[in-house]
Structures are given as C-alpha cells and as structure tokens.
Structure 1
Amino acid sequence: MVADWVSFNVIDTERQDWARGWAALKRFAEREHHARVPYGHREGAAPLGQWVAEQRGAYGAGQMTGQRAQRLERLGMVWCLADERFQENPEAAKVYYADHWALCAPRSAVVLSRPVGQWLSNLRRAGALGGRPEWEAALLAVDKDWKPLWSAERQRHYAALRELVADGEGRADVLPGFTVHGMDIGKWLARQRRPEVWQALAGGQRECLERVGITPLAAPAPVEQAAPAEPFTAPMSAFERGVAARWCSTGPARALWSFPGGMWRGSRPVTASTREYREYREYRVKLGVWVMNQKGRRAELTADKLAVLAALGLDWVREG
C-alpha cells in the first residue's frame, strides 16, 4: 500500500482523489470478487459507482494513462459492460441450443441463471448488433439460424422437426400429438403439409421443409356431381295415371316411390316432387272404375303390372 501511495504522488489533489477511488474499488473487489460496481453504489461515503463510470469514460476517450489503466485492470476493471454481459451469455446460449436445437428461445427462457431468452430477443432487434460483428459471428457459430426471417416460434417448431427426422424417427412417426418441449410438432407438421397452407409459405419456409424430406399432401380429388334426375317428359299412359291416383289416395304424397322389380318408367325407381303428385290428382281419374277395369283385365295384364297393382294393396291380384 505504501508503494502504491508513493507511486500516485499524493501531494497532487487530483491524484489523491483518484487514489481514494482506487482504494475503495480495491476493497469492493476483494469483498465481492469482481469490479462490476453498480452506478449508485457507495463504498462508505464515497460514490464508488459514479467514480468507476467516470474512469470508463476517461478510458474510452483516451484520457487515461496506461499506468492507471493497468492498476484498474489488475482489480478486475471491465471497460465495456456490454462486452462483459455478452461474454457471460453465450455459454448459457450454447446450453440452451444443446437442449432445444435452436437459439430462438422464448423471452422467458433462463439458463445457468442467465435470462438468455430476453437477451437473444434483444439482439434480434434491428440494429442491435451494429458495430459488433464479433458478437454476430459468435452467435452464428452456435446456430446459423439464430435470427430467422420468420417468427421465433416457427423456427422452434422447425428445429424440433429437423432433429426428429435427423434422428431417424421418420416423417410418418411425427403425427399429431407428438410433443417436444411442450410443442405439438405433429400437429404443426400436419398443418404445414395442407395444400392451401403449403402454397402460402414464403421466404424460404418451403425450402426448409423440403430439405428434411417434407412434401405437401396431395390435393383432394374434385367431387363429381351426380347427374340430375331426368324429368318426366313422356306422356303418362292410362295405366300410369291410374297408378298415380291410387298411390296418392292411399297416403300422403311422397318424394320417392318405386315398385317391385324397378320396371316402371325405364326400369328405374320413379321419383317425383310433391307438386307433380298434385298434378296427378288433377287427372281426375275415376279411381273406382279404373280399379274394376284392371280387375276385369287381370288375365291380360303383364307380370310387371300385376306386381305394381299388388304393391298398391289390391288384394284381388294375389287371390287370383
């Protein structure tokens, strides 16, 4: 201590003030094991934090002698706090990357007691790395995609998928419900492969998925529209008018009706709307006379027509 005081030439007032500041910093460093003094800290009555900030300013402006700089550095003086913080955080970032395969950590992420998520988020802001190429080089050495062109959340999902495929899990195994670090990677992948989502991807997103063997799902085949039913264009015969009248008289009009064998009207079921049934009623068929005529001509009726009459509930068809 005597040698230090002699070297500082305590007769000079400015040198005396500097010596007192240095002595206070020495006590702080020996007690705290570092020289990162908060700006508002006082060591006894001395405003040590303010004094340390003044020394950094003098050093940055080139106004500090080499001897003073060396004495402060021996106490652990940090000239640029930003550089020091950066040197502390990369180790935490490396640990995060080893567990999550990406440096796009959420802001709440904390590793090795370091707020690595907030730190990385701050560095991703425009201009945050201005004039610090060595910082960016350090981050790129850990993760070349640490600052993607898309959202950090998307990069986290993609990084997990990339590692799953690289580990041999295979795309077919990454199904909805396959969760990594709380992220449903299978559900996310299924959405990316949907044709409409795939086409909307941009900025290298499709290329990243293709690099790990992901392709879009095939577009669904267009659904063929059924041909509309052919309208009744041919005129109805007397037998058909009678059948329609008998059918309407036995219950409410129906939208779909057919007869055994499917032989009536071109060997297919007969369809008609309620409106058409109402039109059948307008034929004013004398239903009783028509039924008696069919009964009288029973021997002349074909098997198809007899089946139709039996379906209409005319019991005499079966009795014969």
Structure 2
Amino acid sequence: MPVLNDIDERSRDVFRRLVETYLATGEPVGSRTLSHDSQIAVSAATVRNIMADLTDMGLLHAPHISAGRLPTELGLRLFVDGLMQVGDLSPEERQAIEAEAASGAAGDLLEAAAARLSGLTQTASLIVTQKSDAPLRQIEFVRTSPGKALVVMVFEDGKVENRAINVPDDLPPSALVAAGNYLNARLRGRNLNETRAGILAEIEENRAELDELASRLVRDGVADIAGDDNWQLIVRGRGHLLDESVQDIERVRMLLDDLEQKRDVIELLTAARDGEGVKVFIGSENRLFSLSGSSVIAAPYRDENRKIVGVLGVIGPTRLNYARVVPIVDYTAEVLSRMLK
C-alpha cells in the first residue's frame, strides 16, 4: 500500500487538489483543470505525468478512456489519513449543535442530535445507543405499511424507543390494539427483559386471552425488542441519500437496503468504540456497505463516568466532504457526552 513517503511534494500537491476538487464537484478531474489551479502552478503536461504515476500506484483511476481521473478507495484513504486539511466549525454550526442541550429526556436528546447531525451534514445520520433497562410506562403497536409496524415504548425515565418489526400483511387494527393492551397490563412498571420469559411462556401455553394474530404479534414483538442484543439503532435523514444524481440511484437503493440490516449496521458502528476520536470507514473497508460504495464517519460518546455508551455518525457516498463532516461528527459526540452528564 502506498504511503506519503512514496510521493514527492509536488505529486502530493497535485493529488490533494485533485481529491479536493473531486469531493467538491463529484466529477472526474482533468489535467487542464489542475494546471490552471493557482495552488499548483505547473504545466498540464507535468500534471498528466504525475496523474499517470498516481494511477500506476493505485491512487487514481479513469472511469473511461477520455475522462479525467477519480481517486480510488485507496487514494481516499491516503487523503483522509495524511493530506486532508480538517476545517473548523463555524460559530453558527457550534451553536446549532449546542442548542440541543435544551432537549429534555435522554431519548429526545438522541433523536434531536440525530436530526441535527443529518441537517448539518446533509447525509443520513446514525446513532447506536444502549437499550433502556428502565421500567416501561406504556407500549403501543402502530401500523406503518403493509407487513410493517412500529413498536413505541415509553419508559419511566422518560426515554422513548421506536422499533420497526415485521407483521402479517393481513393483520387487522384490532390485533394491534389487543397486543398493546395485553402487554401494557403485564409490563407497566416492570422491566421488559425481566418479564419476557413469562409472557412468551403464557403465549406458548395458550393461556393468553388473544386471538391467533394478536398472539403472534406479541410473541414476535417481544422476542425482537427484548432480544440478546443490547443496542438499538436510530437512523434519520434517509431522504438526503436520495439527493444523488440519477446514475447513483442503484447505489442508493442498495444503501437503503443495507440500512435495514440493523444488526449489521450496529456491528459496524460499535467498532468505532475502540480508541479515541473519529473513525472513517471508506467503501469496501466495511463489508456491509461495500457494494453500495458508501462511507461512514463515526465517533463514540460517553456518560458522566467517561464510559462509552454509544456511537454516532453519518453515512453517505464516498464523495463526502470529509474535511467538513469529520469535525461536525466529532463536536456532536463531544456535546452529546457533555449533555449526558
């Protein structure tokens, strides 16, 4: 793998400006464009030779013969690790992030942080947080689309969690109401994990006063929301992923499908808990998003004891504005940690 020491200073300047131009425009960058760049000040012929050498090193590639060059994933990694000039946040951006401190309960705080992060970066935001172990105050099933329902759980500590589950296509509204009433009668003021086994046993032994569809809903719902996985995923701003150009629609479709694989997304993000600061996963560096060619920028956040309690980040095309997004993710994690104290 090429390292910065393998590239002379002039080639580094050309490579850095090419990547910066590509990230700003999304288009292949030609030698003529770079030769007119005041930060480089070399001839088009010299730029062409340098670009050819960088291509041979695997840092650039040409989408087709007559086009300019684009950075490869390897080139983007080299840029992010060694050449990127990270910008500072504006006072307005800092204020926008810090304004979420006025949010109330922890659940609202995470939702607000996810929405703010998505808005500032114009990408989809991701937050992984530990599931609440507080007693439940209320639980409700809400139909969202054929075959899908949302489980809305309100905890005694004020936290609200929403989980999407699969349901039968022919499930009537009455089954949603019956399932919610059944669980509220048994869970109110109690921890879901503590009562899970008893509820499932009652369903299996047909002692529950529920019809077949409502029983299935309770069984599948409880098994899903009180599973062994102690993490939950919040995703906001999926619509930003649809702002891509027409030729990227298939990539976006694959990415949206990937985001439905919640366990895999959680596994990827929790990898960012190791070490300090922001982690950047580019394209095929992560198995989940390798086909859609997406990048993830993530950072852990902590509680009052400096214990890592979750990870937040954004996901978008590999053509993310890394220099701008990295400090936004970093500062959002810092502010969120401060708010949770």
Same fold flag (TM > 0.5): no
Larger Rg: 1
TM score, norm. by length of structure 1: 0.23
Higher strand proportion, which one? 2
Higher helix proportion, which one? 1
TM score, norm. by length of structure 2: 0.22
